[in-house]
Chain A
Amino acid sequence: MRRGISRSSLVIVSLALALSLILVYFAAMGGLGGHPSASIVGIGQFIVNNTYNVFNRTYWAGSPEAVTSIIWDYRGFDTIFETTVLFAAVMAALLLVPGGIRGRIQGSGKDEGLTLIVKTASKIISCIVVVLALNLALRGYISPGGGFAGGSSYAIAPLLLIAGLSVFYLVRLGYRLSRAIGLRTLGLVGLVVVSSLPLLYMGYIIQNQAKPGSMFPGYPVFLGPLYLGGSLIYMNVFEFLVVSMEFIIIFIAMFLLDRGCGGSA
């Protein structure tokens, strides 16, 4: 299918160019903020000095690759626990594979899903997962969690419904590919707006609170009796929207592709 350059693509390209130029302008005008102070640089200095220090091996990691040294040596626990979490999550996902991991993929083509018990239980659990994910996202500035963690947790709800029931059930519930793409774009626009709003006050990109050398007064930390944590709550909410919808897009697209009906949803 060949087409000439349509008018809409011209509009998109010129908009993108204009936006890039604006961002480059603000970046050149100091919109990225100043250099971090020496006290923050200290930890970086420590790693650069020690990671492959053949003369003083007290704190060395034996590798010139500082990032890998941090991931597996200085902050090794973090990586181990991340791996454990992913391992457990994938193990749970494998439990839902019809016929077990050695089972053949059955070509019945019918909209069957798993047994009635799994169907009912996955419905209930997926609804509770929605609340849990929103809790993670909305309390991200008070307790561990945040938009990314919340968004990826939210993705468990549709995944459970796909595994337990079917992707068509999910589509019937209103999880449409087009809707998810729209919400994802909305979230991304929200992130851009919140992070570039300080530029209008001669602040810098992703500025949250007032800082020396910037006229931006900062996002409100309190709104009446509500504690909002400045821009953090908006960032978390939009990030939640972006990440959850991205996962849903991938799931729906994968399962629809798998069944050979790419465009029908």
Chain B
Amino acid sequence: MRRYIVLFIFYFIIYLLLSGGTYFTDVFFAAVVAAIASALTAKLLVRNEEKLELRRLYYLLKYFFRYMLVDEIRAHIDVARRVLTGEIRPGIVAVPYYVGSDYAKTLIANSITNTPGTVVVGIDDREKLMYVHWIDVKALDPSTCRMYISRVFEEYAMKIFE
């Protein structure tokens, strides 16, 4: 039941944001659409609804702001400097990960790709390795690479999704 309610609220907000208004007609149809969409997609999106807790939502929001304000800006400045100085040592390194859920893996991979300078080019789920193209290879040892590239992302991904 919880997954239906959570997704209902999520879709309701999306519909109102798309409508750009809170007229009665929009609110009414937002509720109708959110009910239909959550009924259709709840089982597809949420396997274990026990995990839908406020604590995880708090970490998700905290991570969003930290990622956008700290990690993104730091990476942008770093890459901008490399563009100007031409100081690059590109290469592909293996980065291990320890999370199990698909959402956590996707969050880590997308966080890595979305910061300039690092791109996930492949994922090996059996070996639990992501292959990352790195603009400045600082280390080759997988666990050191993880320290540089994905440790923070993974800590948050664990708190949010595991």
Contact = CB atoms under 8 A, between A and B. Distances in A.
Whether chains A and B associate is yes
Given A120-B105, A121-B106, A138-B29, A131 B123 contact: no
Contacts of B23: 227
Interface stretch (A14-22, A40-48, A111-119): A111-119
Contact of A116 (B18, B25, B37, B125): B125
A227 B15 CA distance: 17
Contacts of B120: 117
Contacts of B102: 116, 119-120
Interface stretch (A23-31, A92-100, A122-130, A184-192): A122-130
B80 interface: no
Interface stretch (B40-48, B55-63, B84-92): B40-48
B103 A135 contact: no
Nearest to A118: B106
B109 interface: yes
Given A116-B123, A117-B120, A130 B106 contact: no
9 contacts: A116-B106, A120-B103, A127-B37, A127-B41, A127-B45, A130-B41, A131-B34, A132-B18, A226-B24
B36 interface: yes
B118 to A, nearest CB: 14
A139 B44 contact: no
Contacts, number: 64
A130 B32 CA distance: 13
B110 interface: yes
Q: Using C-beta atoms within 8 Å of the partner chain, give the interface range for chain B.
A: 20 to 34
Given A116-B123, A121-B110, A227-B25, A131 B45 contact: no
A134 interface: yes
A219 B149 CA distance: 61
Q: Using C-beta atoms within 8 Å of the partner chain, give the interface range for chain A.
A: 20 to 34
Contacts of A131: 11, 14-15, 18, 33-34, 37
A123 B44 CA distance: 8
A4 interface: no
Given A116-B123, A123-B45, A134-B36, A128 B14 contact: yes
A124 B45 contact: yes
Interface in B61-114: 102-103, 105-106, 109-110
A139 B19 contact: yes
Nearest to B113: A117
B45 A225 contact: no
A120 B106 contact: yes
B142 interface: no
A258 B42 CA distance: 30
Contacts of A115: 122-123
The 9 A-B residue pairs whose C-beta atoms are closest, nearest first, are A120-B106, A127-B41, A134-B33, A135-B18, A117-B109, A227-B25, A225-B24, A120-B102, A131-B11
